[in-house]
Amino acid sequence: MSSKITIYDVARKADVSLATVSRVLNNPGRVKEKTRNRVLEVIKELGYRPNAIARGLASRRSTNVGLIVPTFSRASISEMTDGIADVADKYNYSVFLNVTHNERELQTDSWENMIASQVDGVLLASDQMSEEEVNRLLNETIPTVLLGSRDSQHRVPAVLIDYESASYEVTRKLIESGNRDIAFLTVKDEFEINKLKEAGYLKAIGESKLPPRILTFDDKFEVSIGEFNDFFANEKAPDAVVSIRDSIAIGFMNAAINSGLKVPEDLEVVGFQNTQYTLMSRPQLSTVSVPTYDIGAVAMRLLTKLMNNEEVMNEEVILNHSFIWRGSTKK
Partner DNA sequence: TTGAAAGCGCTAACAG
Partner DNA sequence: CTGTTAGCGCTTTCAA
Type of residue numbered 318: I
| # chain residues binding DNA, by CB under 7 A | 31
Using CB distances below 5 to 8 A depending on partner kind, what does residue 22 bind out of DNA, a second copy, none?
Answer: DNA
6 binds DNA (CB under 7 A): yes
Instruction: Determine the interface stretch with DNA among 14-22, 132-140, 174-182, 199-207 (rule: CB under 7 A).
Output: 14-22
Dihedral pair phi/psi, residue 183, rounded to 5°: -100, 160
Closest CA to 72 of 63, 82, 62: 82
Alpha-carbon gap, residue 107 to 125, rounded angstroms = 10
**SS3 category, 125:** coil
Residues engaged in binding a second copy (CB under 8 A):
1-3, 49-54, 56-57, 62, 64, 67, 71-75, 77-79, 81-82, 85-86, 89, 94-99, 112-113, 115-118, 139-142, 221-222, 225, 247, 250-251, 254, 257-258, 276-277, 279-282
Which CB, 15 or 189, lies closer to DNA? 15
| Residues 38, 12 contacting (CB under 8 angstroms) | no
Using CB distances below 5 to 8 A depending on partner kind, what does residue 32 bind out of a second copy, DNA, none?
Answer: DNA
Alpha-carbon gap, residue 314 to 157, rounded angstroms = 8
Of 41, 57, 82, 104, the one binding DNA by CB under 7 A: 57
Using CB distances below 5 to 8 A depending on partner kind, what does residue 89 bind out of DNA, a second copy, none?
Answer: a second copy
Using CB distances below 5 to 8 A depending on partner kind, what does residue 86 bind out of DNA, a second copy, none?
Answer: a second copy
> Could you report how far apart the first and last alpha carbons of the chain are, in Å?
64
Of 54, 97, 138, 280, the one binding DNA by CB under 7 A: 54
- Diameter over CA atoms, the chain: 85
Which CB, 9 or 162, lies closer to DNA? 9
Phi-psi map region of 60: left, alpha, beta (phi>0 left; psi -120 to 50 alpha): left
Of 12, 40, 46, 51, the one binding DNA by CB under 7 A: 51
Closest CA to 276 of 76, 73, 72: 76
Q: How far is the CB of 38 from DNA (least distance, A)?
A: 9
Instruction: Determine the interface stretch with DNA among 51-59, 221-229, 294-302, 318-326 (rule: CB under 7 A).
Output: 51-59
DSSP 22-47: HHHHH-GGGS-HHHHHHHHHHHHHHT
* CA Rg value for the chain: 25
Which CB, 37 or 208, lies closer to DNA? 37
55 binds DNA (CB under 7 A): yes
283 binds DNA (CB under 7 A): no
Alpha-carbon gap, residue 117 to 30, rounded angstroms = 31
Number of CB atoms found within 10 A of residue 50's CB? 16
* Residues within the interface to DNA (CB under 7 A): 4, 6-8, 15-23, 25-26, 30-32, 34-36, 48, 50-51, 54-55, 57-61
